[in-house]
Structure 1
Amino acid sequence: MMEMMDFLMQYKWLIVIIAEILFLVFAGLFFIMRYWFRKNAVGFAFIILLILNELFLAFLAIYDYLQTGTLDSFQIITAIFYIYLIFEGKKDFKRLDHYFKKKVASWKGETVPDLQTSESAVEKKYGRAHAKEEREGWYIHLVIFVIAQIVFWNIDNFTGWQDFNLT
């Protein structure tokens, strides 16, 4: 068991690259099964594989931290990826879902579904309501930025900052 964990730690960056390729493959197979072949259950199986793939990467990052005891770029990049998944991933996946639904219907010569009705159900905001929504998004980005800067500051401990002379 330890040999396998040592192997995983030795090749962790290669494993991340392979896992990201698998992410794209599983997502693509999900859309193909769902819209081309109309096999939703099989498509759902690929979503499960996609989630397991991402959980494996989280496990790998946690195990790496437990082994080294230090926070390094591997864990930071993994954390940034999960922050993206939490805040923007679902919205982007829905956009991809709508895109592939339209594209496959167009390729198959079927009527292209009108997805504007479902999108227009979310009422567009104007004026103060729109400004409030924009501010909330900006605040989220600001918090993420500050957290990332604190993490980088604690990891780097200001080493190398003297190289940035602004005068």
Structure 2
Amino acid sequence: MVDLILSYQWELFIAIEVLSFASLLLFGIVRYLFDKRNVSLLFLFCFVALLVLEAILAVFIYGETGEISKFQIIITVFVVYACTFGIFDFMKLDRWMRKVIGGWRNVQLLSAKDIEIMNRQKDPQYMAKKYRWSSIAHLIVFVGFQIAFWIYGTGGAAQSLEYIKDLSWIGTENVMETPYANETIYGISMVWGIAFIADFIYSWSYTIFPSNSKG
């Protein structure tokens, strides 16, 4: 059984993610289409249970292998996202489901505040400003942690500057060639770096291409 889990850890992770998203969709369908509010809560509990299961899977794999791999790092990112920014994305999904299902049923499921929020999200200037601030906040947090990681890994700011002058270490699999103290911090930083770049480009696209950023 253990060998099976180790062999199919990625497949299990993907299956859990698919089931998690399906749980959120079923929550909306049962709650707003069939008007079964109490029953719909079961799907929210299911989502939370799957999130916990995902974390348990990462801990289990670590316990069996004794090392932190990209698998644990990616699960950590997903779990942290679900507990932070994911909440706001769920609220957006919930409003979208109420709008669509309300249209099917020919009833108004959105509150006045919901409509106001959705209208603001169609305003390119509002969205551009919102994402500029969020990207700057992400930049400050990211750089702050990287400075701390580098100083911790190299033992001082002076040594860290050498790695800024020569960036050839980026992408290497040998952590000893990097300014990071260990593979765990290095792995987290690399995954976070990719996510940061993608988020930063996406956020500023609302400013650079406002006409394509409506909705």
TM-score past 0.5 threshold: yes
Separation (CA, whole Å) in 1 of partners of 2:31 and 2:118: 20
Aligned residue number for residue 158 of structure 1: 175
Aligned residue number for residue 55 of structure 1: 52
* Structure 1 residue identity aligned to 2:36: K
Aligned residue number for residue 79 of structure 2: 82
* Structure 1 residue identity aligned to 2:53: F
* Structure 2 residue identity aligned to 1:116: I
Quote the offset at 1:17 in angstroms. 1.4
Unaligned runs of 5+ in 2: 120-125, 151-169, 179-215
- Quick one: structure 1 residues 105 and 83, their matched pair in 2 at CA, closer, same or farther if it must change by over 3 Å? same
Quote the offset at 1:71 in angstroms. 0.8
CA offset digits 1:139-164 (Å, max 9, x no partner): 334456x39x87xx9x9443788xxx
- Quick one: structure 1 residues 133 and 68, their matched pair in 2 at CA, closer, same or farther if it must change by over 3 Å? closer
Aligned residue number for residue 203 of structure 2: none
Quote the offset at 1:10 in angstroms. 2.3
Aligned residue number for residue 14 of structure 1: 11
Equivalent position SS for 2:39: helix
The structure with higher relative contact order (CA 8 Å, sep 6+) is 2
Separation (CA, whole Å) in 2 of partners of 1:143 and 1:119: 33
Quote the offset at 1:5 in angstroms. 3.3
| Runs of 4+ in structure 1 over 6 Å off | 130-134
Equivalent position SS for 2:81: helix
Quote the offset at 1:66 in angstroms. 1.5
- Quick one: structure 1 residues 98 and 7, their matched pair in 2 at CA, closer, same or farther if it must change by over 3 Å? same
Quote the offset at 1:110 in angstroms. 1.9
- Quick one: structure 1 residues 35 and 140, their matched pair in 2 at CA, closer, same or farther if it must change by over 3 Å? farther
The 5-angstrom pairing of residues 67-106 of structure 1 reads 67-106=64-103
The 5-angstrom pairing of residues 110-121 of structure 1 reads 110-111=107-108, 113=110, 114=112, 115-117=114-116
The 5-angstrom pairing of residues 15-54 of structure 1 reads 15-54=12-51
Quote the offset at 1:108 in angstroms. 1.4
Aligned residue number for residue 141 of structure 2: 140
Quote the offset at 1:63 in angstroms. 1.1
Separation (CA, whole Å) in 2 of partners of 1:32 and 1:23: 14
